[in-house]
Structure 1
Amino acid sequence: MSAPTFDIAILGSGPVGCVLALSLARHAPDPGRIVLMGPAPAARRPGQSIDPRALALNHGSRQMLQPLGAWPAQAADILTVHVSQAGHLGRTLIDQADLAVPRLGCVVTYDDLLDTLQAAVRASGVTRIPQRPPRPLPGRPVTLQLADGPAQARIALISDGARPQGLQRQYRQSAVLATIRAANPIAGRAFERFTRTGPLALLPHPAGTDLYSLVWCLHPDQAQALAALPDPAFDQALQQAFGQRLGSLRRIGPASTFPLSLHAGPSLQGPGVVAVGNAAQTMHPVAGQGLNLGLRDAAQLAHALQPWLADPAADPQPRLIRYARQRRLDRGLTIGITDTLPRLFATANPLARHAGGLALAALDLIPALRNPLARHLLQGQRL
């Protein structure tokens, strides 16, 4: 059989796929032997938004992206996070000073992040094929069916965001996304408020010091109805749910909705095939952990393959197996936290809701309880 066309095929050109390509290219003798597959980003005019999402990137993700030349020009710092529960006493405040870091994280827009990453990929020497990623046929080598015929790669890394098969949970929630202007903004402060319908988050927005990115989780029917409300009615509903901590709140522009569910499957998909990011796990957006976990997947996989890149004729499978084993703890803890929190605080059981308020109060009063959780959300488990 002829030699593989590529050493590594990365199937999916979203943020995780781009970070994986950049991280591997830094250590590859010939970056052109790495191919990144995925449709080219849609062209957009200055000021135009293609994707409405604002992304909370934690301190660990920023440390990962900056050396790759992939940090967006516009970012809003998160210095503190205020966590509360609607209708109950008890809250906790997570502060960057308690964790000895310059910031807990930053908020960037999806469009800015992807534009920056794509520009870095173009300068990296990685081969780019702008087509929908094929499903790989595991083997040694892996077979890929491209638009102009079959190709082969020694390793295929799936980062296309397709929902993995395995653990599943339907939350019966959708997230309402919108940009909000606050009359009395608090610099660097993000809010996570647990309500009976689901979490409500307000994150500092990179487009303005008085702007916040809203992520409000509700039953799908409620979410659709809320997103369709005229501005005054939407603002009134938001004010009632969030309170007066930021003064009056006004929606800027339209709202959009996304359905929420949990899907998690094995990292190792077969001989020579590994899934990362949303192709390995898609999670509830509470605490903003999904992309951060995917970026840790990419960083640890690139680290695991770094020695192999110097000798791609060697069998990569032992390294892939070791990578999958090392990712279990971080993935399991993060999936567990993001799966438990929204269901715990949305329960109709009054005792459980009071217990949630007491837990928030305990976290606020006892750093030994608060800081380990905060540090995991800040950087995950790194082996």
Structure 2
Amino acid sequence: MDTPTYDIVISGAGPAGSALALILAGKSPRPERIALLGRQFHAGRHQDGGVDPRTLALNHGSRVLLEQLNSWPAESASIDTVHVSQRGRLGRALITHDELGVPRLGSVVTYDALLAAQHQALRQSGVTLLEAASTPLPGPGHVLFQHEGRDLSGSVAIQSDGARPQGIERHYKQHAVLATVRASRPRKGWAFERFTRQGPLAALPHPQQDDVYGIVWCCAPEDAARLQALPDHEFETALHRMFGDRLGRFQCLAERHVFPLALHAGPSLISDRTVAIGNAAQTLHPVAGQGLNLGLRDAAQLGQALAPWLARPHTDPSPLLARFAGMRRPDRWLTAGITDFLPRAFSTGNPLVEHAGGLALLALDLAPFLRKPLARHLLQGLRT
């Protein structure tokens, strides 16, 4: 067999794929033999030329990883306290950074700022950056890619391009309305997760200013379309009615966007030399903001698994990739299970279930031995 063009080819230059490329570059004696394929190296723009509207809630573990990779953006907003409640029912829970012994529970960054910081670090890493999007095709002892009319090959291929995973699928019949608002009574360092019968409603501190919040409002598709089309003053009133008085009145600052919500999860190991991480392995409901955090844990553990192989890339990587897939399984499925259960349990409309949810929030608030394991999982994932 001819020598592959690259040791590792990563298809997808989003946050998870970029983080993996940076991790591997730090472990490889020849980082130029790691290729990252994507169409996003000019960060800050969609393919249609617009600015990406997403804000990302990254937990403490994710921030530590990105700081170690010199790819943390200059602007971020800290989350010190998370307030969880249920509209129309008693019971709420507070999770604070003090009780977990960390400087903050997490941070909020914009998607564009994170990607720009990662790509800046990549340009100094030695990794080969290719403006292309491609799907890997398994071959004998290597994986093939197409780039600008010619074949590329890699000993290992990683899919991180957001290709829909094949396996478990659930459509929540919810869309997420994304909005950026100013609050008249902001609470610095506080993030809010409020469960409603239509779906969870999150208010996240925004890196733009202390009184600005990123809103993620999950509701039925027809309601999402209506909320997107409302004049600003009517949307502000509707948001206040659903969220309550904790942050005062709201003022819209930007255009609203709507995204459909679904769970897609498949195996990490696609073939003996191809693995999937991030959104190519699992796309989750945005409740509790776990999607990218889980993808970054995929990247960190895959980088650790491949570190010894990078020193001997002529050897067979298949056993290491199979071991990686097995080690990631518990964290992936537990996190997917939590984010699948919560939005469905709190939106049944069944009063008994809603009261049970309120009692569960009250128990979490009163009993640290119940609250801390859940908080630690959301903070750093399931360690194996």
TM-score with structure 1 length normalisation?
0.98
List aligned pairs for 1:184-223, cutoff 5 A: 184-223=185-224
Partners of 1:254 and 1:296 in 2: CA distance: 32
2:346 is the alignment partner of 1:320: no
Q: Which residue of 1 aligns with 2:3?
A: 3
Partners of 1:364 and 1:247 in 2: CA distance: 24
Change (3 A) 1:368 1:181: same
CA contact (8 A) 1:139 1:271 kept: no
Shift of 1:143: 1.6
Partners of 1:233 and 1:165 in 2: CA distance: 40
Structure 1 residues 106-149: Cα deviation after superposition (integer angstroms, max 9, x where no partner): 00000000000011111000001101123332541112222231
Partners of 1:24 and 1:294 in 2: CA distance: 15
Any runs of at least 4 consecutive aligned residues in structure 1 with deviations exceeding 6 A, and if so which? none
Q: Which residue of 1 aligns with 2:35?
A: 35
Partners of 2:275 and 2:140 in 1: CA distance: 12
Partners of 1:95 and 1:138 in 2: CA distance: 50
Q: Which residue of 2 aligns with 1:135?
A: 136
List aligned pairs for 1:44-63, cutoff 5 A: 50-63=51-64
CA contact (8 A) 1:138 1:271 kept: no
Shift of 1:2: 1.2
Partners of 1:42 and 1:5 in 2: CA distance: 25
**Aligned-partner SS, 1:209:** strand
Instruction: State the one-letter code of the partner of 1:27.
Output: K
CA contact (8 A) 2:134 2:146 kept: no
**Aligned-partner SS, 2:209:** coil
List aligned pairs for 1:167-182, cutoff 5 A: 167-182=168-183
List aligned pairs for 1:328-347, cutoff 5 A: 328-347=329-348
Q: Which residue of 2 aligns with 1:374?
A: 375
Which residues of structure 1 form unaligned runs of 5+? none
2:98 is the alignment partner of 1:92: no
Partners of 2:249 and 2:42 in 1: CA distance: 36
Q: Which residue of 2 aligns with 1:304?
A: 305
Aligned pairs, how many? 381
Instruction: State the one-letter code of the partner of 1:94.
Output: I
Identity of aligned residues (%): 58
2:168 is the alignment partner of 1:163: no
Shift of 1:44: 5.5
**Aligned-partner SS, 1:187:** coil
CA contact (8 A) 1:80 1:104 kept: yes
Change (3 A) 1:33 1:41: closer
Shift of 1:43: 6.3
Partners of 2:304 and 2:289 in 1: CA distance: 24
Shift of 1:152: 1.1
Q: Which residue of 2 aligns with 1:26?
A: 26
Partners of 2:361 and 2:102 in 1: CA distance: 22
List aligned pairs for 1:186-265, cutoff 5 A: 186-265=187-266
Instruction: State the one-letter code of the partner of 1:215.
Output: V
CA contact (8 A) 1:138 1:273 kept: no
CA RMSD of aligned residues (A): 1.2
Partners of 2:373 and 2:11 in 1: CA distance: 35
Partners of 1:136 and 1:288 in 2: CA distance: 32
